[in-house]
Structure 1
Amino acid sequence: MNWASLLLLPGVLLGLCAGENLLPNRSFLLQSGWEGTALGGRAPALSLEVLEAAAGDLSSLGSGLAGDLLEPDCRELLAGFANSSVRLTDCLVRSARPVTLCQNCYRQYRDLTERFDNITGAVGNTTESNNCAQSLLMSDRLQIVVILSRFFTDTWTKANCANCLKKNSEGLSNDTVKFLALFNESLACFEHNLQRQEDDLLSSNYTEVCKKCNATYKTLNVMYNKMQKSGQEDESEEQSNLCIDVEDAMNITRRLWSTTFNCSLPCSDTVPVIAVSSFILFLPVVFYLSSFLHSKQKKRILIMTKRFQSNSSYVNIQEKFN
């Protein structure tokens, strides 16, 4: 027992003798009184209500201490990361169908990564930031901040959004902007010509759509193939895919064109196809004809050679007799 305890002990005894409680607004029920305790009786028992109230006071005191363990700067960093997570989650869910998360949520994702970098101390390598990283990222087994950051990063990587954005996620790339403009133009063409063909919709006759929107659809398809080829040349095989926004937009357009509208190849494309097919079919005729002529000529040469040999032998016989 130290000197502070010895000095406080008389005051505590005086308070108990005077009937004052150590815990304010709490009352003790004494079964045998202080007289019984002084005479060797049992210690005074506390009621159940008093014990529960005391436990509540201790729990609130503990939570207050735990809150004070986190510094104000760290609480501010945690609140910023929480707000960025909420905004990014809301944007991802709202952009799930049709898939437009890369073009709509790149600002929220960039803000989240910056918040997480501030926590880890990547931006400012100071003692305060290191303390916050220790408290928010590695102080417990669950590590909820790390789990959330890894989830958003994995989602962004699987969507290949970096292939549709400029460096440092400052905005959409030029090719992506052109592609999305052609995509919106194709959908507008489909919708405009469908309204003009309302009477023929029951018979599933979409010839007007196929005819009027052929040029727009062909340009969109060429643009998509160009972007896909460029991505395969610049990136590795694992990162050669286009971002999910472009892939989903092209899948929607092709599904409408081939399945819904049942549009076939245009006439300008069928002419080369027919010409190539005819040439391939005519190749066997050319082959057999050339083979026949070659064999006939070889046979003629062989017959002439035999005749020449027979004539020369006849001349030799005549010379011998003479």
Structure 2
Amino acid sequence: MFFKRRRLWTFCTFVYYYLIVSGAVSWENQNATSKTNIQQIHREHNAEISIEKQMENELNSVSDLDEVCKRDLEIYANASSLFMECVVLHAKPLNFCERCVAKYVLASEAFTKIKNEHRCSRHLLRSDYLQVISKTNDFLKNLWNAGNCDNCFDTVKFNDTYALNEETRQFFQFYNQTKECFNNFSMVNITQASHSNDSLSPLCIKCKELYRKMYIQYTDLGSPSYLCVDVLEKMNVTLKIWSHDYHCNLHDKNKEAVIAISLFVCLLPIMFYLLAKWNGVKQYKQSLYR
């Protein structure tokens, strides 16, 4: 009996100490986990503070850049708007390449200045989702390139170094002379001219040589897909007045008739010779059968 009680006491003591040790270990684990969580919270808090400080520094930096980049931004805004205004005002007749090249150069120069300044480029060109300034510059450049405007000039660079190439300048000169001639003889009623098939309009006669020079210069410039839009527009307008409004023609119908008759007369001896030869061979073959 005594031994049974002692065993029971020993077992209870063992269980008691086991529970105490297990509780201590569990408490230490919980304490360690709690410490880890607290450290993690501190780290996250410090990271948030760091992000807030960084954002504050960025805002302060942008505020500092206002004075440095604001003027460049205003210059580009004014230059780009002036170029677009010039393009719209010269949309009909379409000649914005020659008329707006100075404003295009200024807008391109203003954008390049912003792009080359690192701080301005970082905050003005890449800080917003839409990238308004960059897309505005892309639009202006695409509009200029769509008109093949560079093909009108020898070079288009900064510092006002742009000039019409010699071929385009010569074409514009012939165009101005032809246009002046058209204006001098445009007093003739267009309706009468369009219904008159027997006689040509004075415009067709007096302006023919100038129009011929202009047309030849136009064909010498190259393919229409290569030409700048100013040249194409001037040629199309002039061709409409010449052919559609006054029904003029570079080739004289009387001269064409004379040339056709002359060729026919020249071919008559050859035709007579061939016919005579064919008839002679036919008669020779008939004599052989006799």
In structure 2, runs of 5+ residues without a counterpart are 1-58
Q: 1:172 to 1:223 in 2, by over 3 A?
A: same
2:242 aligned partner: 257
Give me the TM-score of the superposition, normalised by structure 1.
0.60
Q: 1:274 to 1:71 in 2, by over 3 A?
A: same
Moved more, 168-177 or 103-112: 168-177
The answer as to 2:83 corresponding to 1:88 is: yes
In structure 1, runs of 5+ residues without a counterpart are 1-63, 122-128, 233-238, 308-322
Superposition RMSD in Å: 3.3
Aligned partners of 1:160 and 1:244 also within 8 Å: yes
The answer as to 2:225 corresponding to 1:225 is: no
1:146 aligned partner: 134
Give distance in 1, aligned partners of 2:125 and 2:118.
10
Aligned residues: 223
Once the two structures are TM-superposed, the CA of residue 244 in structure 1 deviates from its matched residue by 0.5
Partner SS, residue 186 of structure 2: helix
Alignment of 1:1-322 (within 5 A): 68=63, 70-121=65-116, 129-169=117-157, 170-195=162-187, 197=188, 200=189, 203-204=192-193, 207-228=201-222, 232=223, 240-267=225-252, 271=255, 275=259, 279=263, 290=274, 293-294=277-278, 296-297=280-281, 300=284
Aligned partners of 1:214 and 1:266 also within 8 Å: no
Once the two structures are TM-superposed, the CA of residue 298 in structure 1 deviates from its matched residue by 6.8
Structure 1 letter corresponding to 2:133: V
Partner SS, residue 171 of structure 1: strand
Aligned partners of 2:190 and 2:245 also within 8 Å: no
Give distance in 2, aligned partners of 1:219 and 1:147.
43
The percentage of counterpart residues that share the same residue type is 25
1:39 aligned partner: none
Structure 1 letter corresponding to 2:218: Y
Partner SS, residue 70 of structure 1: helix
Moved more, 85-94 or 185-194: 185-194
